[in-house]
Amino acid sequence: MAPRVQLFVTCLIDGFSPQVGDAVVNVLERAGVTVEFPFDQTCCGQPPFNAGFHDESRRIVHHMLDVLDATEGPIVVPSGSCADMMIHHAPDLVAADAVRFAQAARVAARVREFTTFLVEDLGLTDVGARLEARAAYHPSCHGFRNLGIREEPERLLDAVEGVSRCELADADECCGFGGLFSVEMPDVSAAMMSRKLNAIEQSGADLLVGVDVGCLMHLEGGLRRRGASHVRIRHIAEVLAGTPEDER
């Protein structure tokens, strides 16, 4: 029987990068997974949580929990940032309510970041993808530091036929996005981004791959403002789906 998962697509993918959601479904279905999508899903509650509006975030979390707790199977999230919110912060937000806390714990136990699900749950690294590119990998902070996502995306990327890896200096340094941090402290954020962009351009890569759309949007905007950069930006799901470059 094919594994069955629930896809939590995230706000940024839904609103700005729907092709990433399509790629996630493509990769999972190609691996023999049945993908279900709870249509009442909205946000995980992270934006107001990060801004300190915990009551507002809690209301969003309540809805998220009600929708997902009514489903079965792993909850696959193509974002370390949102997965971290669902696993760690959502239970803390509702800890004062025993019933809600138990609900949050059930949901958190089912949440799996996309690359972790592929490598650890399905035992896959080679998903049959092919792409000619010199690629560097940027590990986003929440997934890298809070979820311990380190080798999984790189193992998947290394298995893509045609991809040659480029070392990215100080790869684990923050790109400067940090959600509201980039809005509240734009000068600091821009300086951090500039360091990261310099490292990307000096790596020799023509493709930067990451696992969080927020960070990738931030870096892509910085590269565009530089004007002459040849580096393209892709979520790892797009690379694993073998998305042709001329489709973007």
Sequence length of the chain is 248
Neighbouring residues of 29: CB distance < 8 A, sequence distance ≥ 6: 35
Q: What is the pTM of this model?
A: 0.94
Which of 110, 114, 86 shows the shortest CA–CA distance to 28? 114
- The Cα 106–Cα 162 span in angstroms is 40
Which of 191, 194, 201, 210 shows the shortest CA–CA distance to 152? 210
- The Cα 11–Cα 178 span in angstroms is 15
Task: Tell me the three state secondary structure of residue 78.
Answer: coil
- pLDDT tens for the chain, 248 residues long, are 779 999 999 999 999 999 999 999 999 999 999 999 999 999 999 999 999 999 999 999 999 999 999 999 999 999 999 999 999 999 999 999 999 999 999 999 999 999 999 999 999 999 999 999 999 999 999 999 999 999 999 999 999 999 999 999 999 999 999 877 888 899 999 999 999 999 999 999 999 999 999 999 999 999 999 886 789 999 999 999 985 443 44
> What is the amino acid identity at position 148?
G
Q: Which CATH number fits domain 125-247: 1.20.120, 2.10.260, 3.40.50, 3.90.930?
A: 3.40.50
Q: What are the boundaries of each domain within the chain?
A: 4-120, 125-247
